[in-house]
Amino acid sequence: MASYGSPLYVYSRTAIENNWHEFDLAFGQHPHLVCYAVKANSNIAVLNVLAKIGAGFDIVSIGELERVLTAGGQASKCVFSGVAKTKEEISRGLEAGIRCFNVESSAELDRIEQVAAEMDTQAPISIRVNPNVDAKTHPYISTGLKENKFGVDIDDAIALYEKANNFKHINIQGLDCHIGSQITDVSPFIDALDKVLDLITKLNDRGIEIAHLDLGGGVGIRYDDEVTINISDYIGKIIEKVGNLEIILEPGRAIVGNTGTFITKVEFLKQNSDKSFAIIDGAMNDLLRPAFYNAYHQVLPVNKNAIGIDARWDLVGPICETGDFLAKDRQLSLTEGDYLAIMSAGAYGFTMSSNYNSRPRVAEVMVSNDTHNLIRKRETIQDLFNTEYLIND
Ligand code: LLP
Mean pLDDT, all residues of the chain: 95
Q: How many angstroms separate the alpha carbon of residue 287 from the centre of ligand 1?
A: 16
3.40.50.2020, 2.70.70.10, 2.40.37.10, 3.40.50.2300: CATH of 258-384? 2.40.37.10
Per residue in 40-92, pLDDT (tens digit) is 999 999 999 999 999 999 999 999 999 999 999 999 999 999 999 999 999 99
For ligand 1, say whether the CB of 223 is within 6 Å of any of its atoms: no
Which is nearest to 210 in space by CA: 152, 158, 251?
158
For ligand 1, say whether the CB of 251 is within 6 Å of any of its atoms: yes
Residue 280's pLDDT is 98
Q: How many angstroms separate the alpha carbon of residue 64 from the centre of ligand 1?
A: 14
Residue 60's pLDDT is 97
Is the pLDDT confidence value at 147 over 70?
Answer: no
Stretch 212-220: mean pLDDT, rounded? Answer: 98
Residue 141's pLDDT is 61
Is the pLDDT confidence value at 148 over 80?
Answer: no
Ligand 1 atom with minimal separation from the 254 CA: 13
Residue 393's pLDDT is 84
3.20.20.10, 3.40.190.10, 3.40.50.300, 3.40.30.10: CATH of 31-251? 3.20.20.10
pLDDT classification of 142: cutoffs 50, 70, 90: low
Residues acting as catalytic residues:
320
Is the pLDDT confidence value at 303 over 80?
Answer: yes
Phi, then psi, of 185 in degrees rounded to 5: -125, 135
Is the pLDDT confidence value at 138 over 80?
Answer: no
Ligand 1 atom with minimal separation from the 348 CA: 24
Radius of gyration, CA atoms only, the chain: 23
Q: Whole-model pTM? A: 0.96
Residue 1's pLDDT is 64
Per residue in 78-130, pLDDT (tens digit) is 999 999 999 999 999 999 999 999 999 999 999 999 999 999 999 999 999 99
Per residue in 268-287, pLDDT (tens digit) is 999 988 899 999 999 999 99
For ligand 1, say whether the CB of 288 is within 6 Å of any of its atoms: no
Residue 128's pLDDT is 96
Q: How many angstroms separate the alpha carbon of residue 178 from the centre of ligand 1?
A: 9
Per residue in 19-42, pLDDT (tens digit) is 999 999 999 999 999 999 999 999
Residue extents of the structural domains in the chain? 31-251, 258-384
Per residue in 231-262, pLDDT (tens digit) is 999 999 999 999 999 999 999 999 999 999 99
Is the pLDDT confidence value at 154 over 80?
Answer: yes
For ligand 1, say whether the CB of 289 is within 6 Å of any of its atoms: yes
Question: What are all long-range contacts of 48-52, with beta carbons under 8 Å and residues at least 24 apart?
Answer: 48/72, 48/73, 49/13, 49/16, 49/17, 49/366, 50/16, 50/17, 50/20, 50/255
For ligand 1, say whether the CB of 61 is within 6 Å of any of its atoms: no
Identify the residue whose C-alpha is closest to ligand 1 atom 6.
217
For ligand 1, say whether the CB of 218 is within 6 Å of any of its atoms: yes
* 165-174, 234-243, 296-305, 330-339: range with lowest mean pLDDT: 296-305
Cis bond before residue 7 (omega within 30° of 0): yes
Residue 145's pLDDT is 61
Name the E strands within 281-334: 299-301, 309-316, 325-334
Q: How many angstroms separate the alpha carbon of residue 348 from the centre of ligand 1?
A: 8
Residue 151's pLDDT is 87
